[in-house]
Amino acid sequence: MLHPVKSVIVGTGSYIPEIKISNNDFLQHTFFEKDGSPITKSTAVIVDKFKDITGIEDRCYARPEQKASDLGFLAAQKAFENSGINPESLDYLIVAHNFGDVAYHSNRVDLVPSLASRVKYLLQIKNPDCVAYDLPFGCPGWLEGVIQANYYLRSGDAKRCMIIGAETLSRIIDEHDRDSMIYADGAGAVILEARVGEQGILSHKTQTYASEHALLLNMNHSYDPQNKSDDLFIKMNGRKLYEFALNHVPQVVKTTLDKANVHLSEISKVLIHQANEKMDEAIMRRVFKLYDLEFDNHSLMPMTISWLGNSSVATIPTLLDLMVRGEIKNQSIQAGEKVLFTSVGAGMNINAMVYQF
């Protein structure tokens, strides 16, 4: 039986920053409501409730001298070491992010040159036919980069692509906004190669809901009424975002599974964007409900959010790399297994992908 060309993961890498920030580190913060009024609850109560809702206990921040492109470079290095592939053989180097390089204590976005060009420079890839470009697509950016690379590989335009997700969200958070506790820094990378066989990407689906939901995540001023600066920070309408994800992500997942002619029962693992533990679990319950099934196997959906926080585009590739390397307790991916990837984020964008290992 002849098999079509597929996009196959041949290398993974990740970089987890060294500075660990616990929930207790936020106890000295003063939090305000959106209108600038002080939150009446004690900070300790706010922090405890935050942990109950999100599942986050710790997160990691980049060192002061590091920027997102540095984290992406370190993850890329590990992917090349893992695969044994010559960096000069890449046809595309795609870097997903949201804010470019942001210097420590600056809050200013730096996008020239592109992060992809900076990573290519740091890797010292000489080949001009290795095309480097950025992909700002919210939290689903890394997965969308994989989907774009899949088109290049299946069309014959490319043989190898690297897709990196890198972010330093700690640089653009408002310390007076309780949502600031969600965000973290990190980077993950994969190398895809065009191969013939059963292994590889089986299907994918992407949607953008902008007409009504584009501003659920946006940039705005500090909630601190004493802060009169022009600095902008990441802001979100948490309740509306939660409702959006529950209402729309499950159907995108099912559409993706249907395109691959794969039933949910055939999926061995679900690698979902580590956004909010309760939200991710609620999404999966909705997905299972579409199949008249009950979601009761939590090992199906491995989580890193409790100790890594939400590093946006880096969450899924980091999770994948840790699983491939056997660094998550009681979690692994075996040859032949089918894995579902899915993410939701600013835009509002949703994507999903079915992959056979």
Mean pLDDT, range 24-45, rounded to an integer: 92
pLDDT band at residue 85, thresholds of 50, 70 and 90? very high
Q: How much is the pLDDT for 261?
A: 96
pLDDT digits (tens, 9 = 90+) for 185-205: 999 999 999 999 889 999 999
pLDDT digits (tens, 9 = 90+) for 259-294: 999 999 999 999 999 999 999 999 999 999 999 999
| Mean pLDDT score across all residues of the chain | 95
Contacts of 251 (CB under 8 A, 6+ apart): 290
Q: How much is the pLDDT for 296?
A: 87
Contacts of 206 (CB under 8 A, 6+ apart): 140, 144, 147, 252, 349, 350, 351
Residue pair 188/164 in contact (Cβ under 8 Å)? The answer is yes
pLDDT digits (tens, 9 = 90+) for 106-118: 888 899 999 999 9
Residue 2 has pLDDT above 70, yes or no: no
| Phi/psi at 303 (5° precision) | -125, 140
pLDDT digits (tens, 9 = 90+) for 148-158: 999 999 999 99
Mean pLDDT, range 86-103, rounded to an integer: 97
Mean pLDDT, range 98-103, rounded to an integer: 95
CATH top class, domain 5-199: alpha beta
Percent of the chain topping pLDDT 90? 91
Q: Tokens 């992908």, residue? A: 353
CATH top class, domain 202-356: alpha beta
Residues forming CATH 3.40.47.10 domain(s) in the chain: 5-199, 202-356
pLDDT digits (tens, 9 = 90+) for 304-336: 999 999 999 999 999 999 999 999 988 999 999
pLDDT digits (tens, 9 = 90+) for 239-255: 999 999 999 999 999 99
pLDDT digits (tens, 9 = 90+) for 123-141: 999 999 999 999 999 999 9
CB environment 306-338: b (16+ within 10 A), e (fewer): ebbbbbbbbbbbbbbbbbbeeeeeeeebeeeeb
Q: How much is the pLDDT for 1?
A: 53
Other C-beta atoms closer than 10 Å to the C-beta of 170 total: 21
Q: How much is the pLDDT for 31?
A: 92
